[in-house]
Amino acid sequence: MRSGDARREILHAIRTNLESSPPVQSSPSPERRGGQGVRTPEGRGGQEVRIKHFTEQLAAVGAQCTTVRSETEAAAALARILADAGARRVVGSDAPLVQRILAAVGNDIVIDRLERLSRDELFACDAGVTTAQWGIADTGTLVLESARERSRLLSLVPPIHVAVLSVRCICESLGDALARLSVASHAITFITGPSRTSDIELTLVVGVHGPQTVHVLLMEGP
Amino acid sequence: MTFERDARTALADGQLRGALRQATTLFGERRRAALATVPDWEGARDRARAIKDETLEHLDRYLEEFAANAERAGACVHWARDAAAACDIIGGIAERRGARTVVKSKSMASEEIHLNAALARRGIEAVETDLGEYIVQLAGETPSHIVVPAIHKTKAQIAALFADKLGIAPSDDVATLAAAARDALRRRFAEADLGISGVNFAVAETGTILILENEGNARMTTSLPHTHVALMGIEKVIPRFADLDVFLQLLPRSGTGQVLTAYQSLITGTKRRAEDEGPEELHIVLLDNGRSRMLASRVTRQALACIRCGACLNACPVYRQIGGHAYGSVYPGPIGAVLSPQLFGLARSAALPYASSLCGACRDVCPVKIDIPALLLHLRAQVVAEGVAVGKGHLRERLAFWIYATVMVRPRLFAWLMRAVRSLRIMPPLGAWTKWRDLRPLAPRSFREQWRAGLGDQRGPDA
């Protein structure tokens, strides 16, 4: 088998070359590695501090945020966001919360289910609504896990992405979030603000391949 | 010498130098601002380097662990000894999947193996989807910066290019140009059968690959087509999932001066259920292509710690003047000057270790503390030891050092020569140095003569 040969050859080349140089003494022990200090899930401040930090960072990276206290409020906020943007065709993920909020949004907007859409139809959508499994306060980041929800394309293809996030799921730092993630999800996506490029004369353009608008509905309460 | 010729051409290009100055200065400033937000930047650099050193020390073990875990999650792992093998593997996958069009997100490794040309020979069109790479591909050029591939082009040039190739009305509005590329590329995403991406980090513990980006094209590339091929150098592996933390702190800050890029995709195998989103097949191609050779020495091994942030390019006084193309390699700048000779052979890139003033700015900004100047000196020594022909200049240099060594160990000969030089008022031409600068006139009496005349007896005020 050629592939097996290549594998053997490469591993052999690595071992032979490693043997020809003396081993380093400075290689750290597994205990010392990381060395970041232990971070409690509560982090440096309480939840209030974390929420404030998160919303500040969201603004810094160009994402919008609306705080809501119930599903009814979330639906009203979503209706406003969609109306302001002139969005006509909206698709929601399979998360029950998203489905309930979309059902409560007025019926003058075409609301589709992802599984019914062809690739071309998906490309013609104005907005995608998903939840986010985690938020990261330090960086204003949303974390989406594929095992929890089908949100991979809806958070990417339409020009507007609305993500519902519970305030209880805001982590302090990137390290905290990584510690909570499970690779049971074949795709984990970190989203920090809208899609952006500076490839032409270093001029910032927002919304290249991904969404131009990222709007977080931050759910307070139980 | 191609390097010297191309560097001269670049130096004569005022527009290029203006664009480079603007970009490298801006990235430098943004980087400095971004790293101020990390409480212990030096500590993070040390940790990252320690993780890389540990990985490289046991690279065989970590690669096997990564391959096993990726396969367990449903990926198919391929091993490619060199560029030709990698192109064969990827071309084979594309043919088996019946792909006519493949969409690509940014991958330096794919540039290194000239994948697009190899696919074209099989009648498969590879479309670059990163905006900068797309511009460069439409223009039939090559990237000139790791992070901003089309830095050498003005928006007027890009507007003319898009008007010609995409049939849009000429516009010098950057947002309009970006929107035109977006529309053109959406059609390609919709029809593509295969997506090819690079890999920033590969986690041995979980078999996860991580891709960073800002535009969303890598997310499109890795989620829309039925098949995803990820190409990675064997040095991209890191031991643990938690290790991603420190690298995610270092890479975006060093590269673009962002706290975090807009997107990180962490992909572990293929979708678990039929109704899940994402490709049915994930192929991970592990590329050696000269990397295992670099493990043989402690000095050269360092270059495998590189996380491709591009900070050393922005900091380098040589790169800042000549840009990426003059290096004649897919890896430009200081890190390119040490990678290219090792990956592609000293004979092909013998001039690159000399394309540096050894000022050390690259070492200072490197997030994983690669001692690039030491590597450059190591490679220069190798160029001399192996007698690689790098032009007449080196014969003269050898002669000059022979004379220097002869004179400096003979004090009387030295004194006599200095007297002769002063009395005749001649200075030998010192190449590029005296070509662009005037040497200061020689003092009428040397330090030794002044010392003998009583300078040594004068006492300072403290005495």
This model of the complex carries an ipTM of 0.92
What pLDDT sits at residue B452? 84
Q: In angstroms, what separates the C-alpha of B127 from chain A's closest C-alpha?
A: 14
Confidence grade of residue B443 (pLDDT, cut at 50, 70, 90): confident
Q: Is A187 on the interface with B (CB under 8 A)?
A: yes
β-bridge mates for residue B197, sequence order: B230
CA distance linking residue B318 with residue B351, whole number of Å = 13
CA distance linking residue B300 with residue B369, whole number of Å = 13
> Are B353 and B66 contacting, i.e. CB atoms less than 8 angstroms apart?
no
The average pLDDT across B201-223 equals 98
Tokens of B221: 């590339």
Confidence grade of residue A23 (pLDDT, cut at 50, 70, 90): low
The three-point CA angle A101-A149-A213 to 5° equals 65
Report chain B's mean pLDDT, rounded to a whole number.
92
Kindly tell me the sign of the dihedral angle through the C-alpha atoms of B418, B420, B425, B428: negative
CA distance linking residue B285 with residue B297, whole number of Å = 25
What pLDDT sits at residue A93? 94
Question: Do the bridges between strand A141-145 and strand A187-191 make them parallel or antiparallel, or are there none, so unpaired?
Answer: antiparallel
What pLDDT sits at residue A44? 58
pLDDT tens, position by position, B265-307: 999 999 988 888 999 999 999 999 999 999 999 999 999 999 9
Range in B167-176, B212-221, B378-387 the model is least confident about: B378-387
pLDDT tens, position by position, A165-197: 999 999 999 999 999 998 889 999 999 999 999
The average pLDDT across A75-91 equals 94
What pLDDT sits at residue A24? 60
CA distance linking residue B6 with residue A158, whole number of Å = 44
CB count within 10 Å of CB B451 equals: 12
Q: Is B157 on the interface with A (CB under 8 A)?
A: no
The average pLDDT across B209-234 equals 97
Number of structural domains found in chain A: 1
Q: Closest Cα partner for A189 from A163, A159, A219, A218? A: A163
Where residue A111 sits, what CATH number does that domain have? 3.40.50.10420
| Domain B38-289: assigned CATH number | 3.40.50.10420
Report chain A's mean pLDDT, rounded to a whole number.
88
| Residue B207, Ramachandran bin (φ over 0: left; ψ between -120 and 50: alpha; else beta) | left
pLDDT tens, position by position, B224-263: 999 999 999 999 999 999 999 999 999 999 999 999 999 9
β-bridge mates for residue B196, sequence order: B104, B229
Q: Contacts of residue B79 in chain A, CB cutoff 8 Å?
A: 3, 6-7, 9-10
Looking at the predicted structure, is the pLDDT value of residue B37 above 80?
A: yes
Instruction: Tell if the CB–CB gap between A119 and B190 is shorter than 8 Å.
Output: yes
What residue segments make up the domains of chain B, in order of their start? 38-289, 392-457
Q: In angstroms, what separates the C-alpha of B226 from chain A's closest C-alpha?
A: 12
| Residue B39, Ramachandran bin (φ over 0: left; ψ between -120 and 50: alpha; else beta) | alpha
What lies within 8 Å, CB to CB, of A18 at 6+ separation is: B57, B59, B60, B295, B296
CA distance linking residue A80 with residue A97, whole number of Å = 18
Range of the structural domain that residue A122 is part of = 47-219
Tokens of B308: 């491709």
Q: Contacts of residue A61 in chain B, CB cutoff 8 Å?
A: 259, 262
Question: In angstroms, how far is CA B194 from the centroid of its own chain?
Answer: 27
Looking at the predicted structure, is the pLDDT value of residue B437 above 90?
A: no
Confidence grade of residue B152 (pLDDT, cut at 50, 70, 90): confident
The average pLDDT across B391-403 equals 77
Q: Contacts of residue B270 in chain A, CB cutoff 8 Å?
A: 186
Q: In angstroms, what separates the C-alpha of B265 from chain A's closest C-alpha?
A: 5
Q: Is A39 on the interface with B (CB under 8 A)?
A: no
CA distance linking residue B249 with residue A57, whole number of Å = 16
Confidence grade of residue A33 (pLDDT, cut at 50, 70, 90): very low
SS3 of residue A188 by DSSP: strand
DSSP codes joined into one string, A10-29? HHHHHHHHHHTSPPPS-PPP
Q: Is residue A33 part of a domain?
A: no
- What would the 3-class secondary structure string for B298-341 be? HHHHHHHHCCCCCHHHHHCCCHHHHCCHHHCCCCCHHHHHHHHH
Q: What is the DSSP letter of B285?
A: E
Give the percent of chain B with pLDDT over 90: 75
